[in-house]
Structure 1
Amino acid sequence: MFHKITKKLRRIVNNKIFIIFAIVIFLLIRFYFTTHESIPKLPESYIQSSDIDSKQCNLSLLESDGWFCESDSDWKRRKRIHRLQHKRNRISDDRYLFFQNNWEPTIHCQFERRIGNTGDGGKWICDVYRLRQMNTTDLLIYSFGSNGDFSFEQAVKNMLPKAEIHTFDMQLYKCPDGICTFHQARLGNGKDGDSKSLQMIMKELGHENRHIQILKVDIEGSEYDLFESLLNLSPSNQAKLPYIRQILFEIHLHSDYIDKSIERTHELFELFRANNYAIFHKEVNLDDPRNVFEFALIRLNTAFFTSQL
């Protein structure tokens, strides 16, 4: 009788040990998968931010195509600000103070900076330090409309020594040694006379499959043709649209047909928005403050504009 009781107790103890062992294994497995949570696939040009652990900023990484790394609460606050400002961005068609009344920045970069010459020629860049953190050294920069001023290119090269910089202008100039490669070309929609679209330029240079990290445009009114040709593609051709991280450009209102120019300007900024670009900086050109402004835009993921808060 005693032997049977001992055997039964031993079996109960063994069962308890097995159950405890199974529970420990389960908890260890759960802990492993919790702490090694897989991060969703990010774009090829994903930038590892050092701000916080990337596991804590999956939402912002995905919705900014790998550019911003912020806590979910800060990112949602950023999205709310963007949406509120966007609603106010097309207030008036009045000629007087048109740009003061329309198209303000809707997103902000913590460490944006102005590079190039002071005054005309310089541009604002969003958090350029992130480009130094990229997992790739394939940094492609395009600068349209130099007018012989290469201060922008020199500043970019100083900050990003490995960047490949191409500069374009209608007139013939020469880049400083080791700074950029110069191309004589007239930019536009590629249909008017001898103008070339961005897609034509990229194909000629063998850059069709590369990303442009910074596109700087200062082409004295031809920016409308250039961007309309670039962005106004049918849904079936959207795959042909080159990926451009930041667009820095000067825009001009045409005073000789102002009503049409104002409507075209509204349509252009709506086109940027439809192609996932948000304004992060705006600056008046004091040489002609009624007609000329500088804008800087950054490309985000479609989910930034469409997902729920």
Structure 2
Amino acid sequence: MLPLVSALSLAAPPSSSALPAHASHASKLNTNFHTLRNRTHSLHSPPDLQDIAARHRAQLLQSLQARRPSTNANRTSAAARASLLAQPRRAGFSSSPPSPLVNMREYFQSNWNVGTPAGADCGRIRRVGPAGDGGKNVCFDALPPPSEPCFVLSVGVGSNVGQPSDFRFEIDLHRRLPHCTFHVYDGTNFNRGPILDAPDFVTFFPKDFSSTVWRSYAGRHIDIFKIDCEGCEFNSFEPYENMANVEQLLVEVHGFKGHADVEHLMTELNKTHGIFYREPNIQFTDGTCIEFAFRNRGGRSL
């Protein structure tokens, strides 16, 4: 039997000088790899990565909280309205007034578009109500959670002649947001008499909407203001300062009033609200009636 010292010396690996050249090179590479791995591990150990992720989450949460108004009351205060209305006018088309030689279809084609200074963003646009006439595109980013009050003001539910009144938008919205309160106005229903088939969840007012009615809502926060009343939009929003209380506005603008009236209406609305969606009504008009969806420039999540 060999002595213990001799056995250990036989089992010991040869020195690098005794290895072939390629084996010695491989040994050095292996040593360098383990050294680099150990240094990387010491710099980015799991606790370090968790700390970095936690800091990023905290910074993101702080940023979101800073952008979100804390309560509805803050958005309807006099200071909030004054701040919003003091923002620079956002022209929807150009610095020159619209020419009477340009027809309304060409005017709408070139002006008041999404993605311009007149526009606003929305990440979750959902169709509410029917796919065709009567349905509206709603920005769900701007809606309150179930824990907060929700108020919907809807003007115009009269459908086409020979058809019953159209509450499909309100019914679909109530299905998605059952905690909302609904006030609905319609006094004419295309001159076919009063509306008698309003859903139970609706507080229905069988009269025309006007600036006088609009003033009665001064100071009240409105989450959705839907208005489709065959031209009443041109005299229903005054005073325009009260629009600062509206989170989002869904309105069909009827071009038969002409350039001056349309330009005045859109310019006033655009002071407080940006367009996040638009579509022409080509089923029942010549393309000069446009559905616009606005959201408040200082509202929820902006």
Do they superpose with TM above 0.5?
Answer: yes
Q: Over aligned residue pairs, what C-alpha RMSD do you find?
A: 3.2
Counterpart of 2:129 in structure 1: which amino acid?
G
Please report how far the alpha carbon of residue 301 of structure 1 lies from its aligned counterpart in structure 2 after TM superposition: 2.1
1:225 aligned to 220, 232, 235, which one?
A: 235
Please report how far the alpha carbon of residue 176 of structure 1 lies from its aligned counterpart in structure 2 after TM superposition: 4.3
Please report how far the alpha carbon of residue 210 of structure 1 lies from its aligned counterpart in structure 2 after TM superposition: 2.8
Q: Which has the higher contact order (CA 8 A, sep 6+)?
A: 2
Please report how far the alpha carbon of residue 108 of structure 1 lies from its aligned counterpart in structure 2 after TM superposition: 2.2
Identity %: 24
**Are the aligned partners of 1:212 and 1:242 in contact in 2 as well (CA < 8 Å)?**
no
Consecutive unaligned residues in structure 1, runs of 5 or more: 1-34, 37-51, 67-82, 191-196, 203-207, 232-237
For 2:93 and 2:66, how far apart are their aligned partners in 1? 26
TM-score by length of 1: 0.59
* 1:101 corresponds to 2:149: no
**Are the aligned partners of 1:175 and 1:181 in contact in 2 as well (CA < 8 Å)?**
no
For 2:63 and 2:243, how far apart are their aligned partners in 1? 31
The alignment partner of 1:133 has SS state of coil
What are the residue-to-residue correspondences of 1:16-95 with 2, within 5 Å? Answer: 53-58=60-65, 60-61=67-68, 89-90=93-94, 92-93=98-99, 94-95=102-103
* 1:248 corresponds to 2:264: no
**Are the aligned partners of 2:91 and 2:267 in contact in 1 as well (CA < 8 Å)?**
no
What are the residue-to-residue correspondences of 1:101-180 with 2, within 5 Å? Answer: 101-105=110-114, 106-127=119-140, 131-133=143-145, 135-136=147-148, 138-147=149-158, 148-171=165-188, 172-180=194-202
For 2:210 and 2:63, how far apart are their aligned partners in 1? 43
Please report how far the alpha carbon of residue 88 of structure 1 lies from its aligned counterpart in structure 2 after TM superposition: 5.9
Closer, same or farther in 2 for the Cα pair 1:87/1:189, shift >3 Å? closer
For 2:169 and 2:220, how far apart are their aligned partners in 1? 22
1:284 aligned to 277, 280, 286, which one?
A: 280
**Are the aligned partners of 1:140 and 1:212 in contact in 2 as well (CA < 8 Å)?**
yes
Consecutive unaligned residues in structure 2, runs of 5 or more: 1-53, 74-87, 159-164, 189-193
**Are the aligned partners of 1:250 and 1:294 in contact in 2 as well (CA < 8 Å)?**
yes
Closer, same or farther in 2 for the Cα pair 1:242/1:299, shift >3 Å? closer
TM-score by length of 2: 0.60
For 2:243 and 2:112, how far apart are their aligned partners in 1? 24
For 1:123 and 1:114, how far apart are their aligned partners in 2? 6
Match of 1:72 in 2: none
Please report how far the alpha carbon of residue 270 of structure 1 lies from its aligned counterpart in structure 2 after TM superposition: 1.3
For 1:113 and 1:104, how far apart are their aligned partners in 2? 19
For 1:301 and 1:220, how far apart are their aligned partners in 2? 29
**Are the aligned partners of 1:175 and 1:182 in contact in 2 as well (CA < 8 Å)?**
no
The alignment partner of 2:68 has SS state of helix
Please report how far the alpha carbon of residue 211 of structure 1 lies from its aligned counterpart in structure 2 after TM superposition: 1.0
**How many residues in Structure 1 have an aligned counterpart in Structure 2?**
208
**Are the aligned partners of 1:168 and 1:183 in contact in 2 as well (CA < 8 Å)?**
yes
2:215 aligned to 172, 175, 199, which one?
A: 199
Closer, same or farther in 2 for the Cα pair 1:301/1:292, shift >3 Å? same
Instruction: Give per-residue Cα distances to partners, 1:148-204, cap 9 Å, x unaligned.
Output: 1000100110000111111110132135443312111112334xxxxxx3113x3xx
The alignment partner of 2:175 has SS state of helix
Match of 1:212 in 2: 222
1:294 aligned to 264, 267, 291, which one?
A: 291
**Are the aligned partners of 2:184 and 2:205 in contact in 1 as well (CA < 8 Å)?**
yes
Please report how far the alpha carbon of residue 218 of structure 1 lies from its aligned counterpart in structure 2 after TM superposition: 0.4
For 1:281 and 1:125, how far apart are their aligned partners in 2? 9
**Are the aligned partners of 1:122 and 1:152 in contact in 2 as well (CA < 8 Å)?**
yes
For 1:244 and 1:176, how far apart are their aligned partners in 2? 24
Closer, same or farther in 2 for the Cα pair 1:174/1:181, shift >3 Å? farther
Rg: which structure is higher? 2
For 1:131 and 1:209, how far apart are their aligned partners in 2? 18
**Are the aligned partners of 1:153 and 1:179 in contact in 2 as well (CA < 8 Å)?**
no
